[in-house]
A and B are shown apart, each in its own frame.
Chain A
């Protein structure tokens, strides 16, 4: 085989391997795994540089006393080995242990109240109280910032953007579970999509 031929074939192979997951699963090697109820630990830098900054040492997983944080495996492309929290399974209880031990500053040292893992969003078509079937205020009761992050308006839960930390305790506690596993109150990781200013 000639060199040019070899290089052409090698390039094509690499291209196909890179593009294959994108075509087959709609999820590429560079697609962020952070979606609804799939959150980064507290203080995480935006997704744009998360994969680059995190060195996959797994120390946040080891110190997490609630086993909230898990590691992604090779199927997540370049996000392999990064920490993720499945809010509806085990939410973050904001113990802030992980932010103290992150060696690369991927998890910034912030306080509980500054944490913005996402924003809780009530699905009013699913929520029992909003639908008027029963009066449920589970999310209000479990919220660590109850009365501030979740308030009751005529007994119906409303999320206040300024105070919601996105910890997911409400999602975990919500009694409504849809077929796709989502709840009547879900965490949207809106802060993960922030852009980074290059200084």
Chain B
């Protein structure tokens, strides 16, 4: 059984630890890429998480690719093929790019660690909470602004892309680009609310969330085991409530923190099968009374 294997392997390495390894690896790719290009003229890896070229394999970020098509009104087959892999990943696993790959997540995790050490608290507080629907307005607003200006906005102020650009500028031209201030702002807001930008403003996150609305992999709750201790709710970096079935919502990015936090092993990653209609949200009786549940955003998607 999938569930059993996940629970057993979790004892050796928590999802948090695994995620840190993957995040570090993903960060190393965009750090070592420019270094290899600049000092050794090895062009095997180019770019960062707007478009990454690994040998003959190209990846293009779905939102950037979409903006490019919308504004230029031209289709380019290599770009479409390069968008395929990220889109499929999001369709199957949800917005795992955000939690497992994005360099902003990497910095946020480090920052969270430091914040925990300094404050001495195990749980980090979220001081400023906004409506989660802002995320969709951010995506809509961003696309509208893009169409008005005739130039994609997100592609040059996107924080995940900016990390790569700043690293490349540093290595190639031994200077930093001015727009790096945006990065400081984004990371600075993490001190007020964990993943403030990711929660409410990231258009790329919104795109991936939408793509992953029918994702196959989701955290599922076993109500018989749940002791309602609330540990998972406090652990979730997005401020979602796994105990109330919000891991099935559009906003969950499958980071696995709640699975780590659960002491009674009530939460686990599970594959949703297409045939059985027992999606996690439907198995939760109280979900219709809680805010920010999938039913609320389902209308937006359809």
> Which residues of chain A have a CB within 8 Å of any CB of chain B?
30, 45, 49, 51-59, 61-63, 65, 67, 70-71, 73-75, 78-81, 97, 101, 103-105, 198
Contact = CB atoms under 8 A, between A and B. Distances in A.
Residue among B65, B68, B73, B168 with the highest chain A CB neighbour number at 10 A: B68
Contact of B78 (A56, A73, A79, A105): A105
A53 B72 contact: yes
B71 interface: yes
A103 B179 contact: no
B123 interface: no
Q: Which 4 A-B pairs have the closest CB atoms?
A: A52-B71, A78-B151, A57-B51, A51-B151
Nearest to B61: A55
Interface string B28-68: 00000110011001010011101111000010110011011
Nearest to A57: B51
Contacts of A104: 51, 60, 65, 68, 76, 79
A57 B173 CA distance: 16
Contacts of B50: 55-58
A74 B161 CA distance: 14
B21 interface: no
Interface in B263-278: none
Interface of B: 33-34, 37-38, 41, 43, 46-48, 50-53, 58, 60-61, 64-65, 67-68, 70-74, 76, 78-79, 82, 149-153, 155-157, 161, 164-165, 168-169, 172-173, 177-179
26 contacts: A30-B151, A51-B151, A52-B67, A52-B70, A52-B71, A55-B50, A55-B51, A56-B64, A56-B155, A57-B50, A57-B64, A58-B50, A58-B165, A58-B168, A62-B37, A62-B38, A62-B168, A71-B169, A73-B177, A78-B153, A78-B156, A101-B46, A103-B60, A104-B60, A104-B79, A105-B74
A53 B79 CA distance: 11
Residue among B50, B71, B157, B164 with the highest chain A CB neighbour number at 10 A: B50
Contacts, number: 123
Contacts of A45: 72
A15 to B, nearest CB: 13
A105 B76 contact: yes
B151 A52 contact: yes
Contacts of B168: 58, 61-62, 71
A59 B51 contact: yes
B68 A55 contact: yes
B152 A55 contact: yes
B68 A63 contact: no
A56 B165 contact: yes
A65 B156 contact: no
A110 to B, nearest CB: 15
Nearest to B153: A78
